C-alpha cells in the first residue's frame, strides 16, 4: 500500500470552504482505501489530508480524474501552502 500525510495551510478564513471542495471532489477514486480530510485542532488555517492507496499508480491516476482536477482548480486559490509531511507504506489497521 501507498500512503501520504499532507499538511495544507489555508488562506485565512477559507478552511471550511476548502474542506468542502476536497470532500466533494475526492469520492469514488479507484484504488483509494482511505482518504481523511481533517481540520487541525490547534490552528484554524491548517488542515490535514491522510491518504492510503492500494499503490502509488492509483494515486497518480487519481490526479487525472475530472472531479479531482476540478477540486484542485477550485481549491488552489484557497491554499497558502502545502507541506508533504510523509510518504508511507501502510502496513494495515482499521478502516482500510
In whole angstroms, the minimum distance from the beta carbon of 73 to a second copy comes to 20
CA-wise closest residue to 87 among 9, 26, 2: 2
Instruction: Identify which of residues 11 and 32 has a Cβ nearer to a second copy in the complex.
Output: 32
Distance of CA 76 to the CA centre of its chain: 13
3-to-14, 51, 57, 67, 70 alpha-carbon distances in Å: 26, 5, 12, 20, 22
CA distance 71 to 82: 15
Instruction: Identify which of residues 11 and 50 has a Cβ nearer to a second copy in the complex.
Output: 50
In whole angstroms, the minimum distance from the beta carbon of 64 to a second copy comes to 18
In whole angstroms, the minimum distance from the beta carbon of 49 to a second copy comes to 8
Within 13 Å and on the Cβ side, how many CA atoms surround 42?
Answer: 0
Give the interface with a second copy as residue ranges (CB under 8 A): 1, 3, 5, 7, 19, 23, 26-27, 29, 32-42, 46, 48, 50, 52, 85-96
In whole angstroms, the minimum distance from the beta carbon of 95 to a second copy comes to 4
Amino acid at each position: 500500500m501507498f500512503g501520504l500525510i499532507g499538511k495544507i495551510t489555508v488562506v485565512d478564513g477559507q478552511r471550511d470552504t476548502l474542506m468542502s471542495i476536497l470532500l466533494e471532489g475526492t469520492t469514488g477514486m479507484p484504488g483509494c482505501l482511505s482518504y481523511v480530510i481533517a481540520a487541525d485542532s490547534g490552528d484554524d488555517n491548517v488542515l490535514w489530508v491522510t491518504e492510503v492507496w492500494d499503490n502509488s499508480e492509483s494515486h497518480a491516476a487519481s490526479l487525472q480524474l475530472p472531479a479531482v482536477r476540478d477540486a484542485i482548480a477550485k481549491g488552489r486559490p484557497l491554499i497558502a501552502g502545502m507541506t508533504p509531511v510523509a510518504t508511507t507504506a501502510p502496513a494495515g489497521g482499521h478502516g482500510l
